[in-house]
Structure 1
């Protein structure tokens, strides 16, 4: 995956959208991610981290998408649990991996696995 593809993917998955299969939209609807979706997101986050490396500045649109992806995914997961959604067993850990990868991009130090 190249940088442009990774960036586009993360912005589409971490921004308001009408796509019913977008990561946040599925969580918001109480549906699990599409198979392979989390793996693709984590790969895209790693590609962004590697490309942005020591960048002093990140563009606001990208930062917003990353922030929303990390924060709202956790919110929708927790909200779904309170409503009795039976999430896949590893989704909680996957959301933590996404948040750690986003934090790594912001800090410039990779903390992911």
Structure 2
């Protein structure tokens, strides 16, 4: 995966419109878990974006907003879904934490891991 593909994938996953019904945030808004391989693709894209931007001093607004949305909104949707009684997949909470840590890594320029 190259940078442009990774960037587009991340931006697309944060879009919450009916035309983008398979986006991570859109699925979670509807109480649906990610499709198989979804989180893996997002994590790979985050790593590619990190490698490209680790020495950058600025990040373009559209990408920064998408990263923020994937990090914060996914956690909020997970919590709201759980409160509403949704049975999320067992590893989803940890996967969302990995996404958040990868986003933090992009913003800090220093790759971090879950453990």
Contact 1:10 1:41 in 2 (8 A): yes
1:17 Cα deviation after fit: 2.7
* Equivalent pair of 1:28/1:76 in contact (CA under 8 Å): yes
Q: Secondary structure at the match of 1:112?
A: coil
Give me the whole-angstrom Cα distance separating, in 1, the residues matched to 2:52 and 2:15.
Answer: 21
TM-score normalised by L of structure 2: 0.95
Q: Cα offset for 1:20?
A: 1.3
Conserved 8 A contact 2:68-2:103: yes
Report 1 or 2 for greater relative contact order, CA contacts < 8 Å, sequence distance ≥ 6: 1
- Paired position in structure 1 for 2:76: 75
- Asked if 1:17 corresponds to 2:28, the answer is no
Residue deviations 1:1-28 (CA, integer Å, cap 9, x gap): 0100000000010133321111000011
Spell out structure 1 runs of 4+ moving beyond 4 A.
none
Partner Cα separation in structure 2 for residue 80 and residue 60 of structure 1? 28
SS for the counterpart of 1:75 is helix
Is the 8 Å Cα contact of residues 15 and 69 (structure 1) preserved in structure 2? Answer: no
**Equivalent residue, structure 2, for 1:46:** 47
Q: TM-score, normalised by structure 1?
A: 0.97
Equivalents in 1 of 2:28, 2:58: separation in Å?
30
Q: Counterpart in 2 of 1:8?
A: 8
Distance in 2 (alpha carbons) for counterparts of 1:30 and 1:2: 31
Give the whole-Å Cα distance in 2 for the aligned partners of 1:12 and 1:28: 15
1:22-60 superposed Cα distances (whole Å, 9 cap, x missing partner): 100001110000000000000000000001121011111
